[in-house]
Structure 1
Amino acid sequence: MSDEVAENGHSEGDVPEIELIIRASTIDGRRKGACLFCQEYFMELYLLAELKTISLKVTTVDMQKPPPDFRTNFEATPPPILIDRGMAILENEKIERHIMKSVPGGHNLFVQDKEVATLIENLYTKFKMYVTKFESTDTKEASQPLLSHLERINDFLAKRGTRFLTGDTMSCFDCELMPRLQHIRIGAKAFRKFEIPTRFTALWTYMANMYELEAFRQSCPADQDIISHIKNQLGLRTTARIELETPVFTTSIPIVAET
């Protein structure tokens, strides 16, 4: 297992140490992998570590070659796994509930906003449907459900006028949406040559705000790991030799979208 400790984690006084075990890269088995839930919880916990309510330790595990101690403790359970003061939480819904109810400060991230919850629901499903439709000869038609959903998010952000989805501070919805937007940005381009339109200026501004945050930067997988994850998850093919490439992290936005 490989360890990463969030720079903002603290162990002073009675601040609890939280360990998050995440999937390692399927390329090198050490750096961060591209599991969406792993990044979502990493971001939430990193934000809490920045507030000094917890000390955060992040451990990557290569699931192709899990170490003996991992197999002994967790058998075949895949990450993410959260360990809080010796107690392991193994299922995604239980991890989310634990962060909300039991991790100091966690309840502040979980705001109630049905409009936002409905808005971001099924976005990633539409992306997966799009990139797997190789039989479609009409790329524009195949991309329309995804494009329409991205446009709705863009229009919502433009209307609401806040830095993040629910206001000017981050919430659990941002930690859920942004990793998926990054997968869409990197994966749709790699497999279908699709790019998020620059006319979605509110969406690009939102992504630029997220790119500035250490919580996103520290948790973000390399472009190659996102491509590898999507390829393996959906059984897709790519001609890129991503295993041989130097890791790249795309965190800039198009110049047109800045104006």
Structure 2
Amino acid sequence: MADEVTENGQVENGDVPEIELIIRASTIDGRRKGACLFCQEYFMELYLLAELKTISLKVTTVDMQKPPPDFRTNFEATPPPILIDRGMAILENEKIERHIMKNVPGGHNLFVQDKEVATLIENLYTKFKMYIRKFESPDTTENRQPLLSQLERINDFLAKRGTRFLTGDTMSCFDCELMPRLQHIRIGAKAFRKFDIPTKFTALWRYMANMYELEAFIQSCPADQDIISHIKNQLGLRTTARIELETPVYTTAIPVLATES
């Protein structure tokens, strides 16, 4: 049986287990992909496995503001991500990750051990949220320094290691964790703080350019407006932008200065 790729980027392979990933829909239109970080992380991991033809992947979006009756019946109040593997539903993030690693064919290859990388990317998103929460106060060096310092450490690590991705020249679970967060930082910090990831972080931008070339990221990436809406709702922020009226935009271009080394 030939492989099939559906309109929304699902990869269907013959004669392999079908995995369904239920993810949050956009809070703007209730249909396209939402900006849940864990949803995108698992989407990327499973998409990579589907590309390797170890699984067939089906991705379903659910509008949590108006969930369908069968969703309420089957999952009660449990929000996505939800993984369904051969009729068994896995509902909690840690259990989903463990299931992909131990039970999904090929999944163990994504979960490499690298304590240095794990420590390097830990708390990055927390520092971003701390920075964004103060968006109505003056944008001082003190406010942005924790986020900026960690981005610089990631840049320096990538420059020193010299690989395409965090742990080598093939993707791992760490890349599926980091890149969605970098995209939130790129879009969210610009929207709420007018902050751009410095172009001098050329190794970090080179890494992001590599990720932007991958279907696993492109197919799972939410629109800029959904990222802004997600951050606004999550942190209780206010914005005058009418993003719900805008045509969806997906920012994946690399600043020209960042390509100059």
Superposition TM-score tier, normalisation by shorter sequence: over 0.9
CA distance in 2, matches of 1:3, 1:249: 27
- For the Cα contact (< 8 Å) 2:84–2:90, is it kept in 1? yes
How far does residue 135 in structure 1 lie from its aligned partner after superposition?
A: 5.5
How far does residue 239 in structure 1 lie from its aligned partner after superposition?
A: 1.5
User: Deviating runs (4+, > 6 A) in structure 1?
Assistant: 1-5, 7-12
CA distance in 2, matches of 1:55, 1:226: 27
How far does residue 140 in structure 1 lie from its aligned partner after superposition?
A: 2.1
- Report the RMSD for the aligned CA atoms in angstroms: 3.1
Deviations 1:170-191 (A, max 9, x none): 0000000000000000000000
- For the Cα contact (< 8 Å) 1:8–1:52, is it kept in 2? no
How far does residue 137 in structure 1 lie from its aligned partner after superposition?
A: 2.5
Q: 1:10 to 1:234 in 2, by over 3 A?
A: closer
How far does residue 97 in structure 1 lie from its aligned partner after superposition?
A: 0.1
- For the Cα contact (< 8 Å) 2:135–2:192, is it kept in 1? no
CA distance in 2, matches of 1:106, 1:76: 28
- The residue that corresponds to 1:8 in the other structure is 8
CA distance in 1, matches of 2:241, 2:94: 35
Segment of structure 1 superposing worse, 219-228 or 137-146: 137-146
Gaps of 5+ in 2: none
Q: 1:244 to 1:8 in 2, by over 3 A?
A: closer
How far does residue 11 in structure 1 lie from its aligned partner after superposition?
A: 8.9
Segment of structure 1 superposing worse, 58-67 or 231-240: 231-240
Matches for 1:162-201 after TM superposition, within 5 Å: 162-201=163-202
Q: 1:11 to 1:47 in 2, by over 3 A?
A: closer
CA distance in 1, matches of 2:25, 2:191: 21
- The residue that corresponds to 2:139 in the other structure is 138
Gaps of 5+ in 1: none
- For the Cα contact (< 8 Å) 1:11–1:17, is it kept in 2? no
CA distance in 2, matches of 1:218, 1:113: 27
- Give the number of equivalent residue pairs: 259
CA distance in 1, matches of 2:76, 2:91: 11
How far does residue 134 in structure 1 lie from its aligned partner after superposition?
A: 3.5
CA distance in 1, matches of 2:7, 2:111: 23
How far does residue 36 in structure 1 lie from its aligned partner after superposition?
A: 0.0
How far does residue 60 in structure 1 lie from its aligned partner after superposition?
A: 0.1
Deviations 1:124-154 (A, max 9, x none): 0000000001364342220000000000000
Segment of structure 1 superposing worse, 121-130 or 5-14: 5-14
Deviations 1:156-199 (A, max 9, x none): 00000000000000000000000000000000000000000000
Segment of structure 1 superposing worse, 215-224 or 10-19: 10-19
Q: 1:145 to 1:50 in 2, by over 3 A?
A: same
How far does residue 10 in structure 1 lie from its aligned partner after superposition?
A: 9.1
- For the Cα contact (< 8 Å) 2:35–2:227, is it kept in 1? yes
Deviations 1:30-59 (A, max 9, x none): 000000000000000000000000000000
CA distance in 1, matches of 2:164, 2:45: 17
SS in 1 for 2:171: coil
SS in 1 for 2:3: strand
TM-score normalized by the length of structure 1: 0.95
TM-score normalized by the length of structure 2: 0.94
Q: 1:2 to 1:42 in 2, by over 3 A?
A: farther
